[in-house]
């Protein structure tokens, strides 16, 4: 029989145990499919005594990530610890330096240190694989890196964070406010105790920056993502979105802009008749537009034990079958330095929700400010008066630049009769 692929699993949380279960439970199937056995020979985790519901008595315990990285009996190390630095980073760096292939589920790590780690991997012709880092079980990294290899990509649009998508979907269905739905999501285990990165767009930005690097052949630039979260969305916005024919999704977008690349994460009005509008709950989706293939779409569960383990085992299988290749498709030595495009020049339609005092002349003042910035209005809605004497005014603009809208909003918010921070949501066009 051909030699086993000897695997070390670092991190035995839900994903680590899920990965172990597949490797152990489907050993025969995977051996046939990969042409050699996939064998877990070592694991490491903080607490050795914890009952994880699986029998690990035949598996060696590595005392530390350093021990695992140096273990001469391992061909591949799977990092499932998490975090951009610390143990996760040390393990991946040291494992590569000691000639081991690495599979990781860690988007923060790849978004932060991906280029440096890729250089280490490529120097030694080692695999650094991270399918599980983006969009859970959807094979989007493989599709971009291999399936669409013939394409110049012009745009990527993703729903990349299941927690925020779950919250938006639930807010829309139940008409309940953000804080309420977030608490419930935490109770149900769909949001973490500290949900900051899911809610403020950071998690989606990590994932987007990885996809951008592969698609556009540029160095990963997580810091270059312009990021807005979903905290400011109110139940009212879903109501207005529906009236205009839209649903609200947190989109991650990478595209060619003026002078370079643009990366955005922001809540978006998505036309109800497009496939992205139908991605509900914890599902993720990615649209890739390529010059040869046209528009392709990939959907599936964005997180959880099964989907994440599915992606990790796929990466391990690639290692077993000897499929080494450049980490970001373009070899690191040929990746372009990231060139930042002009955010301000980007054009699109905008939805603006304002809360104003119900006095004569307010709408005239707002309209004047918008007109002065060449922002023209497609529709305006004003409905009833609130208990506190405020009136909600909702505007949909025609195509305008980011700069014009930002300037106009600053002017509008400075008006005496405009009562609280306004809400601006970008509108996706067909």
Q: How far is the CB of 325 from its own copies (least distance, A)?
A: 5
Question: By the 8 A CB rule, do 220 and 213 touch?
Answer: yes
What is the total residue count of the chain?
430
- The residue among 306 and 341 lying less far from its own copies, judged by its C-beta, is 306
Closest CA relative to residue 315, chosen from 126, 157, 166, 172: 126
Active-site annotation holds for 357: no
- What's the DSSP call for residue 69? H
Q: Rounded to the nearest 5°, which phi and psi values hold at 104?
A: -140, 150
- The residue among 153 and 418 lying less far from its own copies, judged by its C-beta, is 153
What HEC string does 114-183 produce? HHHHHHHHHHCCCCEECHHHCCCCCCHHHHHHHHCCCCCEEEEEEECCHHHHHHHHHHHHHCCCHHHHHH
Residues of this chain that interact with its own copies (CB under 8 A) are 18, 22, 26, 29-30, 32-35, 131, 136-139, 142-143, 146-152, 273, 275, 278, 290-301, 306-307, 309-311, 313-314, 317-318, 321-323, 325-326, 329-331, 334
- The residue among 143 and 340 lying less far from its own copies, judged by its C-beta, is 143
Q: How far is the CB of 326 from its own copies (least distance, A)?
A: 7
Question: By the 8 A CB rule, do 208 and 265 touch?
Answer: yes
Q: How far is the CB of 297 from its own copies (least distance, A)?
A: 4
Q: Which of 207, 349, 383, 403 is catalytic?
A: 207
Q: How far is the CB of 128 from its own copies (least distance, A)?
A: 16
Question: By the 8 A CB rule, do 227 and 164 touch?
Answer: no
| The two structure tokens encoding residue 99 | 């000639």
- The residue among 133 and 370 lying less far from its own copies, judged by its C-beta, is 133
Closest CA relative to residue 60, chosen from 80, 50, 74: 74
Cα 126 to Cα 6, 87, 103, 107, 117, distances in angstroms: 15, 20, 11, 19, 11
Name the one residue in this structure whose structure tokens are 């009005």. 269
Q: How far is the CB of 210 from its own copies (least distance, A)?
A: 16
Strand partners, 334: none
Q: How far is the CB of 191 from its own copies (least distance, A)?
A: 19
- The residue among 297 and 410 lying less far from its own copies, judged by its C-beta, is 297
Q: How far is the CB of 142 from its own copies (least distance, A)?
A: 5
Query: What is the DSSP annotation of 322-377?
Result: T----TBSB-GGGPBPP-B--GGG-EEEEEEEEEEE--TTHHHHHHHHHHHTTPPE
Q: Which contiguous run of DSSP H or E holds residue 89?
A: helix 86-97
- The residue among 138 and 427 lying less far from its own copies, judged by its C-beta, is 138
Question: By the 8 A CB rule, do 208 and 247 touch?
Answer: no
CA dist., res. 181 & res. 233, Å (int): 12
- The residue among 248 and 286 lying less far from its own copies, judged by its C-beta, is 286
Q: Which residues are catalytic?
A: 207
């Amino acid at each position: 029989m051909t030699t086993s692929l000897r695997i070390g699993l670092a991190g035995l949380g839900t994903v680590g145990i899920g990965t172990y279960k597949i490797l152990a439970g489907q050993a025969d199937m995977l051996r046939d499919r990969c042409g050699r056995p996939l064998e877990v020979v070592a694991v490491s985790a903080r607490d050795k005594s914890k009952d994880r519901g699986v029998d690990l008595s035949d598996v060696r315990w590595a005392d530390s990530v350093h021990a695992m990285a140096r273990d001469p009996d391992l061909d591949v190390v799977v990092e499932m610890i998490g975090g951009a630095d610390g143990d996760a980073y040390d393990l991946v760096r040291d494992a590569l330096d000691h000639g081991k292939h690495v599979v990781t589920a860690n988007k923060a790590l790849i978004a932060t240190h991906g280029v440096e780690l890729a250089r280490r991997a490529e120097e030694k012709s080692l695999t650094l694989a991270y399918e599980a880092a983006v969009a859970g079980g959807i094979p989007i990294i493989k599709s971009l890196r291999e399936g669409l290899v013939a394409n110049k990509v012009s745009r990527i649009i993703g729903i990349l964070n299941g927690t925020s998508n779950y919250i938006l979907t639930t807010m829309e269905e139940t008409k309940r406010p953000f804080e309420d739905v977030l608490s419930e999501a935490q109770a149900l285990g769909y949001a973490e105790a500290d949900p900051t990165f899911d809610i403020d767009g950071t998690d989606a930005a990590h994932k987007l920056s990885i996809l951008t690097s592969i698609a556009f052949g540029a160095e990963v630039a997580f810091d270059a993502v312009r990021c807005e979260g979903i905290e400011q969305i109110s139940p009212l916005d879903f109501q207005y979105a529906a009236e205009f024919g839209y649903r609200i999704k947190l989109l991650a977008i990478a595209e060619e802009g003026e002078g370079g690349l643009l990366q955005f994460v922001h809540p978006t009005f998505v036309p109800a008749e497009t496939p992205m509008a139908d991605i509900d709950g914890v599902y993720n989706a990615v649209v890739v537009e390529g010059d040869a293939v046209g528009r392709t779409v990939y959907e599936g569960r964005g997180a959880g034990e099964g989907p994440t383990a599915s992606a990790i085992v796929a990466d391990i299988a690639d290692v077993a079958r000897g499929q080494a290749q450049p980490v970001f498709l373009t070899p690191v030595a040929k990746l372009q330095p990231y060139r930042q495009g002009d955010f301000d020049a980007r054009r699109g339609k905008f939805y603006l929700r304002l809360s104003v005092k119900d006095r004569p002349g307010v709408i005239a003042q707002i309209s004047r400010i918008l007109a002065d910035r060449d922002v023209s209005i497609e529709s305006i809605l004003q409905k009833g008066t609130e208990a506190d004497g405020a009136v909600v005014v909702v505007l949909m603009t025609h195509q305008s630049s980011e700069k014009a809208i930002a300037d106009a909003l600053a002017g509008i918010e400075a008006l005496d009769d405009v009562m609280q921070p306004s809400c601006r949501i970008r509108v996706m066009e067909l």
